Chains A and B, each alone.
Chain A
Amino acid sequence: MRELRVLFQEPGLIEAIASDPDIPRSKMGLDTPGYRSLWVADLMVDYDPRTGRSYAFMSSSFEKTYPLVIWALRFYMADELFDVPQAGLKAVPLHEAFSWAYAHFILEDQMPVLQPESPSEPRSLTRQVLRYAAVAA
């Protein structure tokens, strides 16, 4: 399973970079196609030329665009699970990793805990963050 490393710069620049422990780093450096916007303007994705898989994800105004970015990741890029060691998350989709990043870097772990809609509702950072966005709007 690939690991995600999340980088953040205030006020809202976020990058998540996936690495595969089974693929060594390139000696020359990766000659990637470069970032391009996918689905929403502020979600940019770059690809690893060795695998053809997306490996870098960037939002540069995440403090404003996070609902759109998280929705796009949830709809279009939820088919792969990642470990996020810095968050203590294992086997989560990208939208959960970005939701953690929003709660951690931008809200500084101060997101109010919203009551679940039903007792059986599974714990989901994405659900929490999107409900927070709806309340804050």
Chain B
Amino acid sequence: MHEPFPSEEYVTIIDNKGRERVQRVECVVLDVRGEEVYVTADGLAYAEDSLEAKDQSYLIEKLSRLSGILAHPDIVIWDPVEAPSDTLIYYKQLYIAALRRHKLVAAIVKVRRGIKFFYNLHVQESGKVKGLPVVPPSEIEVWYIAPRVRRHQFGL
């Protein structure tokens, strides 16, 4: 993880209405394949608001460890909502000290015009990646799986 270089401090995205929107980049994280993920101020603010609203503030500190989730995930899938997908979901079991237990945490990364943006962080039901059981496991595309991990641990 590194602070953005001067040329990376602001990125421009095209919104739903086709307008250009400038976003401030807080940091740049290298994921498990060495690809850059931009963490914007808006993305971080959303994730914090969401965790606070859900009474899961214990996860807010994990936002400062995004690099660990993105660089060392257990499994990464393409969001099975549509094909081709523009969203990757990085899953990792994390120890939550406040709860004294491990939880499966998901970091959502949106790919927009070839640039990856951090989108949200949330708790996921253990043993089931997004889509299960609605989508057949054979239709869920795995982008990465750690050597020590087996697909069936995630319902695949």
Contact = CB atoms under 8 A, between A and B. Distances in A.
A, B: real partners: yes
Interface of A: 5, 7, 9-13, 15, 17, 19, 25-26, 28-42, 44, 46, 55-56, 58, 60-61, 63-65, 106, 108
B87 to A, nearest CB: 7
A29 B55 contact: yes
Contact of A7 (B49, B101, B126): B49
A60 B132 CA distance: 15
Specify which of B99, B122, B133 lies most central, judged by the most chain A CB atoms within 10 Å of its CB.
B122
A34 B53 contact: no
* Number of chain B interface residues as a range: 35 or more
Interface stretch (B2-10, B67-75, B78-86): B78-86
Interface of B: 15-17, 21, 42-43, 46, 49-50, 53-58, 79-82, 87, 98-99, 101, 103-104, 106, 108, 110, 119-120, 122-126, 128, 130-135
Contacts of B110: 11
Contact of A38 (B49, B120, B126, B134): B134
B134 A41 contact: yes
A40 B99 contact: no
Contacts of A29: 55-58, 98-99
B51 to A, nearest CB: 9
7 contacts: A9-B119, A31-B101, A33-B123, A34-B126, A41-B81, A58-B122, A60-B79
Contact of B56 (A11, A32, A41, A61): A32
Contacts of A36: 124-125, 128, 132
B16 A37 contact: no
B87 A106 contact: no
Contacts of A108: 17
Q: Which 6 A/B pairs are nearest by Cβ-Cβ distance?
A: A34-B123, A36-B125, A34-B125, A30-B55, A41-B131, A9-B46
B135 A34 contact: no
B52 to A, nearest CB: 10
B125 A33 contact: yes
B122 A11 contact: no
A17 B125 contact: no
A35 B15 contact: no
Contacts of A26: 55
A25 B55 CA distance: 7
